[in-house]
């Protein structure tokens, strides 16, 4: 009898899982960092770890997701989102993130709107947000992230508990673009989601430059020629009284992973 009960329990649990829609849909509300138009299923709660950021997300209703998080315990932020099913294959979400550092003054915010086209297993998203950092936070940290943030993403589920996703961001004011391609693997009866990939970024920063006055070829500190001499045996004389700011572009790439655990 006991064995039969166990068999019955196993059979019903398999049947229960097979009745669900595609397994990946539980985590369809998010790519890596960026949300999609799909709401988290009602009453779901998950812990999400994205690089140094940890947050908990919860859906009290079919349309609302709320969350709380921290980037390596330097700040705390609250999130909220409201999903709007536009049509069978179009879902929109408006929401925001609002936070403050744990020490020091200032605040930051990221109101956004995204629209997702497709199904939880096969979709693409376009979104726009506005990144706000308060003047005191800029003063504290040196980071000025004020400006429009455009994001996009796509997910393709392969079945067999794997999928492929890509998430991208563009920050026009900072002339910065990020792209994050990743594999998604889900385990533990589809309640653990691993995104494993890399982040590549092209970004600019301001650097102070000085106009070249000329070239000193005999090392007496006096300009001898305006033409760059060949070789290395000369000194470049700059006009330090007239600095100018130039945009310098740089590039980086490193591995990224995120992990979501549903309770
Ligand atoms: Ca000289």
- Residue 223: inside a domain: no
Q: Render pLDDT for 13-61 as a digit per residue (tens, 0 to 9).
A: 444 343 344 556 899 999 999 999 999 999 999 999 998 899 999 999 9
- Residue 238: inside a domain: no
User: What's the gap in Å between 240 CA and the centre of ligand 1?
Assistant: 18
Q: Are 95 and 82 in contact (CB under 8 A)?
A: yes
Tell me the whole-structure pTM to 2 decimals: 0.78
Q: Which of 34, 99, 47 is nearest to 71 (CA)?
A: 99
CATH of the domain at 32: 2.40.160.40
For residue 52, the enclosing domain spans 25-208+246-262
User: What's the gap in Å between 244 CA and the centre of ligand 1?
Assistant: 25
Query: How many domains in the chain?
Result: 1
- Residue 101: inside a domain: yes
User: What's the gap in Å between 208 CA and the centre of ligand 1?
Assistant: 26
- Residue 19: inside a domain: no
Q: Render pLDDT for 94-139 as a digit per residue (tens, 0 to 9).
A: 999 999 999 888 999 999 999 999 999 999 999 999 999 999 988 8
User: What's the gap in Å between 213 CA and the centre of ligand 1?
Assistant: 12
- Residue 218: inside a domain: no
User: What's the gap in Å between 222 CA and the centre of ligand 1?
Assistant: 4
DSSP string, 109-148: E--EEEEEEEETTEEEEEEEEEEEE-HHHHHHH-----EE
Q: Render pLDDT for 198-242 as a digit per residue (tens, 0 to 9).
A: 999 999 888 999 999 999 999 999 999 999 888 889 999 999 999
Helix (H) or strand (E) holding 2: helix 2-19
- Residue 16: inside a domain: no
């Amino acid at each position: 009898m006991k064995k039969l009960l166990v068999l019955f329990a196993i059979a019903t649990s398999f049947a229960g899982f097979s009745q669900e829609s595609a397994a990946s849909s539980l985590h369809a509300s998010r790519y890596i960092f960026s949300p999609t138009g799909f709401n988290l299923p009602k009453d779901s709660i998950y812990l999400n770890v994205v690089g140094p950021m940890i947050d908990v997300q919860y859906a009290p209703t079919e349309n609302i997701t709320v969350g709380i998080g921290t980037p390596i315990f330097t700040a705390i932020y609250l999130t909220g989102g409201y999903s709007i099913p536009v049509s069978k294959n179009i879902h929109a979400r408006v929401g925001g993130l609002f936070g403050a550092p744990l020490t020091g003054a200032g605040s930051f915010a990221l109101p956004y709107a995204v629209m997702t086209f497709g199904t939880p297993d096969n979709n693409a998203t376009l979104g726009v947000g506005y990144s706000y950092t308060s003047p005191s936070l800029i003063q504290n940290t040196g980071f000025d992230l004020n400006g429009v943030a455009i994001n996009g993403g796509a997910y393709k589920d392969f079945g067999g508990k794997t999928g492929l996703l890509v998430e991208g961001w563009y920050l026009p004011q900072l002339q910065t673009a990020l792209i994050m391609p990743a594999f998604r693997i889900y385990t533990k009866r589809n309640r653990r989601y691993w995104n494993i990939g890399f982040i590549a970024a092209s970004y600019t920063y301001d650097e102070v430059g000085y106009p070249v006055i000329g070239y000193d070829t005999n090392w007496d500190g006096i300009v001898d020629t305006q033409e760059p001499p060949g070789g290395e045996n000369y000194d470049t004389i700059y006009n330090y009284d007239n600095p100018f700011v130039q945009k310098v572009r740089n590039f980086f790439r490193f591995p990224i992973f995120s992990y979501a655990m549903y309770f």
